[in-house]
Structures are given as C-alpha cells and as structure tokens.
Amino acid sequence: MIKINNLDFAYKNTQVFKNISLEFQKGNIYGLLGENGVGKTTLLKLICGLQKPQHGSVTVDGLTPSMRQPELLQNVYFLPEEVITEDTTPEKFIQKIGCFYPRYDFALFNKLMGELEVDLSKKFNELSHGQKKKALLACAMSLQTDYLFLDEPTNGLDIPSKALFRQVISRYCSNETTIIISTHQVKDVENLIDPIVILDKDDVLMNASFAEITDKIYFEYGPERIQNAYYTEMLPGGYINVMPNTEHLESNVNIEALFNAVMKNKETIKNLMK
Amino acid sequence: MDFNGHKPIYLQIYDHVCERILSGEFRSGDRVMSVRELGVELGVNPNTIMRAFERLQMKEIIATKRGIGFYVCDDAKEKILSEQKKEFLENEIPEFLKKMELYGITIEEVMNMFSLRSKM
C-alpha cells in the first residue's frame, strides 16, 4: 500500500502540494487525473523516490521511497512520459536493466513486443514515437513489479494499440499489483481505470472507486438540461447531467463529465465524497 | 463488445455473459471464462468484471467450485429468460404503451399486426 501523509512539496518558489494525504490500495488500477501543472508527474516521482517530500511522509509497503532501498526499488517501475531515444535496441535495454528486478522475465518481454507489434530489430531512435512508447511499455511490464506507474502511456499510440494497451494492463493487474495511470486521455483508459484520483492545485479533490462515485453522484442522460446539476453538457442526442444521487439510482460514470463536475464544484463534491 | 454510455459497465458485462449463455456458447455445467480472461478479452478493469460475476452468482446464473472456478448453473437459461421477461414487462411494455398513446395507435392495429405475424 502507498500512504501519503500531510505531504508538502514545492519546486523553488512553486508550491505543488500543501498538506495532502491519500492512499493507494493494492489490487487496483488507479486513474490519476488533474489539469496541466497540478503535479500528477510530481506525485508519481515522490512515490518512486525521484523526489523527496519537504514535509510529511510517503511510504510504500512501509518503506520510504526517497531512501532508495533496493528492497523497494526492485518492486517499483515508473514509465515517464518523455520517451528515451537511446542508441540501443529495446532488447539490449531490457537486458541491461532487467537484472535489478527479481521477477524480470525476458520471455514475457518478447511476448509483449509481439502482441504490441513492435519491430524487434530496430533501435529506439529508429522507432516511431508510438512504437517507442509500446517498446518501453513492454520493457516496463516484463519487469513484473508490484508497483507500476505510467505517465500518459497512451499518447502517440494508434487506435488498435490503445485497445491492446487496455488488454495487457488488465492482464497485468492482480491482487498484489498497484497500477497508477496518469492521463489526460480518459477515453483511452475508459473501463480500465477505477478508482479515480483527481488532483488540484495543492489539493486532492477525489479518491474514489466507481461504486463509491455512483453511490453519491448520478449521471443522467436525458433530453434536457437539468437546473442545479453539478455539471451539464450537450451530447449528440441529448444532455448528460451530473447531479447528486438522491434516489439511489444506478448509473454509468462518464469520466470527462465527472472531472468537469468536480472542477466546477470543488468543495461541494469533496465534502460529498468524504 | 461495444459499451453504451448509459448503463453501468458491470451491468453491461452481466448482460454480455447472459447473452453468451443464451446463445449456447456456455452451457449448463460448463466452466465460464475466468474474471481475468474476460477482463483481458474486453480490456476492462478486473474489479469491474468481478462485480458483474458477483451479481451473476447472486442471481444463481453462475456458481463457483473450488479448483474449477465459475461454471454455469443448471437452469441458468430459464433464470435469464424469466428475468428478461420481467424486465420487458416492467420497463419496455409501459414505454410501448406510452408511445401507442402518443401516436394514437389503437390496440386493434397492434392485434392485427400480431395476428399477421403469427400467420407467417
């Protein structure tokens, strides 16, 4: 489990987190959402020990990532958004770093490269952006760490690759794994991410599963705009209205509409979900 | 599988498994695919699949056996059909009647169509 307690973090003069607390439970695929610059990547860096909290604590299975103990690092992998352009093949790259991860499986790497249809003979700098992303994903997943953090993993993937991405991530997920996917492309990871974490400047606005969300919030698809809804948007064929679930109805979460509803009613929804 | 926007995904997956039982792909006593297999096939969060399977278990459409996993219950087909019938009578028929009224369609017209259809 990942525990973040009363965390403060700032880059020089820019405050990123002020006294935030949240937990990530194993067995889940978290979707980490937030507007540009709210600190999604910074949070992932804090969890994997690439940044150090200025106040408060971050622990992963009771260990402190910034102490960088091999015991923890061998069980964590962070795939950043920026794509490396090393003058080497993915195969050589994974053989180089694989030795640091006890469950690393070269056969799995080859299988994933095949499934994701990446050319094995090419070097990173000869692959297209999307191909590089897929090669790095195959590398990351072949390490089989319990903690896997992906920053904007679907950027640059073509349409068939996005479906493949959802399939391989679903397969990776087990009772022991904690996967966090930071993304703006919520459509790409629809039906994959649950729970949803929404970050705001200095704050966490939501950390809830779909079941918890739909228990409190109702997503109504209908012919008209409903007054007093948290958020309303016109869709082809009608409106989506995000409103309090006062009558205990079941509905389907529309992540984009949820995000917009939370942004427009920060305190109200934060209190509602407590 | 295409998901629609209105119904919770776990209920859509519940329906999807029911359809596969009705179509005969999974027969009584057969092992159904595991939560993991279906999750991978659909590219859906395994926890969502689990929620659908819990409902299928609650409705006694599937059950679990140690070492085997989930299998289809004896009268699963009948249970699904009777549930769908109930749903049809409670939700679709009232909607149908409302539309008849709106468009001014008489019961005789419908009866006529019904008897023509049964002659075919």
Q: Which of A163, A240, A250 sits opposite B43 (nearest CB)?
A: A163
pLDDT at B52: 96
Cβ atoms of B8 and A139 within 8 Å: the answer is no
pLDDT at residue A158, rounded to an integer? 92
Looking at residue A13, what is its pLDDT? Answer: 85
Q: Which residue segments constitute the domains of chain A, with CATH numbers given?
A: 2-206 (3.40.50.300), 209-272 (no CATH)
Which residue stretches of chain B have pLDDT < 50? Answer: none
Q: Is B91 on the interface with A (CB under 8 A)?
A: no
d(CA A34, CA A41): 10
pLDDT digits (tens, 9 = 90+) for B90-114: 989 999 999 999 999 999 999 999 8
| Segment A177-214, tens digit of pLDDT | 999 999 999 999 999 999 999 999 889 999 999 999 99
pLDDT at A83: 79
User: Rounded CA gap, B45 and A196, in Å?
Assistant: 12
Could you tell me if B18 and B78 are in contact, meaning their C-beta atoms sit under 8 angstroms apart? no
**Contact call for B7 and A167, based on CB within 8 A:** no
What architecture (CATH level 2) is domain B9-75? Orthogonal Bundle (1.10)
Residue B11 near residue A211, CB atoms below 8 Å: no
Q: What pLDDT sits at residue A87?
A: 87
Q: Where are the domains of chain B?
A: 9-75, 77-119
Nearest to A154 by CA among A142, A166, A145: A166
CB < 8 Å to A211, chain B: 51
Q: If you search the block for the tokens 């704050």, which residue do you land on?
A: A203
Distance between CA A81 and CA A151 in Å, rounded?
5
Note the pLDDT tens digit of each residue in A228-269. 899 999 988 889 999 999 999 999 999 999 999 999 999 999
Local confidence band at A274 (pLDDT 50, 70, 90 cut-offs): confident
ipTM above 0.85, yes or no: yes
The dihedrals phi and psi of A74, each to the nearest 5 degrees, come to -70, -10
B19 to chain A, any CB pair closer than 8 A? The answer is no
Please write the tens of the pLDDT for every residue from A139-185. 999 999 999 999 999 998 999 999 999 999 999 999 999 999 999 99
Strand, helix or coil for residue A136: helix
Q: Which residues of A touch B45 (CB under 8 A)?
A: 29, 170, 173, 191-194
Which residues neighbour A88 within 8 Å (Cβ) at sequence distance 6 or greater? A96, A123, A124
- Residues A239, A225: Cα–Cα separation, whole Å: 6
CB atoms within 10 A of CB A44: 22
Segment A30-44 shows an average pLDDT of 95
